[in-house]
Amino acid sequence: MELREFSDPTLWAAVLRRDRSYDGKFVYVAITTGIYCRPSCPSRRPHRRHALILPSSDEAESAGFVPCLRCYPNSLNPAELSIKAALDYIQEHADCRITLHELSEVSGLSPNHLQQTFKRIVGVSPKAFYNAQRFIRFKQLVRAGESVTSACYGVGYGSSRALYENAVHWLGMTPGTYQRRGEGTVIRYLIIQAFLGRVLLAGTEWGISTIRLGQNDDSLLRDLQEEFNRAVLVPAKTSISELAAIVASCRLEDPFLTRLPLAVRCQIFETKLWALIALHKSRI
């Protein structure tokens, strides 16, 4: 078959610096061995004249080349499998109390290695993602009619105090006010374009109350009105430049994340956005 080799010099430069952000965009082949690799492969790189740059793993294998056993260019590598196992476990056990040691056993990585690898690949710490999943579940339980206390214990909090300590960060109001659909609060909102779609940010003077991703502004607003049907909802009057810059900064995501279901990618994006907004102490 005729090979469609890329000639763009920036691609070989990515190989030379083992740039992980290019993984999934192309592969390179060591002609002398017949092995193809990700751009980020830790193996010794061949001389440029002994290498081919091809668009995909499929094209490399169709030409008879075999995948590298160090970087796994046609599948998830061991580190990615470990992080996927941790992500899946957190989502499946968001209603339980999860420790880093527990995640370490699930992922097969030491606690310290898991912490570092998870943060590098996912963009937030395991704890941040776990806390986000807990509050997503807490909101679901409360909106389904459960009491704050029942929902609190239903997502693994040992006491209501722990819930209330985190409520301002994740709700922008007390859990009781959230249960009453934002009664007596003024919630400002804005909608910004993000790489995964339109993102709605809404919050009070205390903090962000909700982050929603969608493709249609009208449906995002309807969801907001349903979630906070007793609050006063008003468009944000402040400049959106700072928040737009924060949203844009979340565009960078590890290639591994593009292999995950869109719903999981959205949850990770929302968690990163929530963490950055809190870090910058931004308000709507």
**Interval 209-233: pLDDT, tens:** 999 999 899 999 999 999 999 999 9
Portion of the chain with pLDDT greater than 90, in percent: 74
Q: Which of 68, 152, 250, 266 is catalytic?
A: 68
Q: How far apart are CA 87 and CA 82, in angstroms?
A: 9
Mean pLDDT of 14-43: 95
Note if 250 is an active site residue. Answer: no
Mean pLDDT lowest for which of 156-160, 177-181, 231-235? 156-160
pTM: 0.85
Q: Which of 41, 152, 250, 266 is catalytic?
A: 41
Mean pLDDT of 195-214: 91
- 100-107 helix and 111-122 helix, angle to the nearest 10 degrees: 80
Cα→Cα distances 216→33, 56, 134, 200, 219, Å: 50, 33, 26, 10, 6
Domains and CATH numbers, the chain: 9-67 (3.40.10.10), 168-280 (3.30.160.70)
Tens of pLDDT along 71-122?
Answer: 999 999 999 999 999 999 999 998 888 999 999 999 999 999 999 999 999 9
Q: Which of 37, 152, 250, 266 is catalytic?
A: 37
Residue appearing with tokens 């991703």: 213
pLDDT-based confidence at residue 2 (cuts at 50, 70, 90) = low
What is the pairing mode between strands 186-194 and 232-235? parallel
Tens of pLDDT along 242-256?
Answer: 788 888 888 888 999
- State in Å, rounded, how far the first CA of the chain is from the last one: 57
152, 134 in Cβ contact below 8 A?
no
Tens of pLDDT along 109-142?
Answer: 999 999 999 999 999 999 999 999 999 899 999 9
The confidence score (pLDDT) of residue 278 equals 78
Q: Which of 71, 152, 250, 266 is catalytic?
A: 71
Q: Which two tokens stand for residue 156?
A: 């693994």
Note if 266 is an active site residue. Answer: no
Mean pLDDT of 144-168: 88
Q: How far apart are CA 169 and CA 209, in angstroms?
A: 8
Beta partners for 193?
198
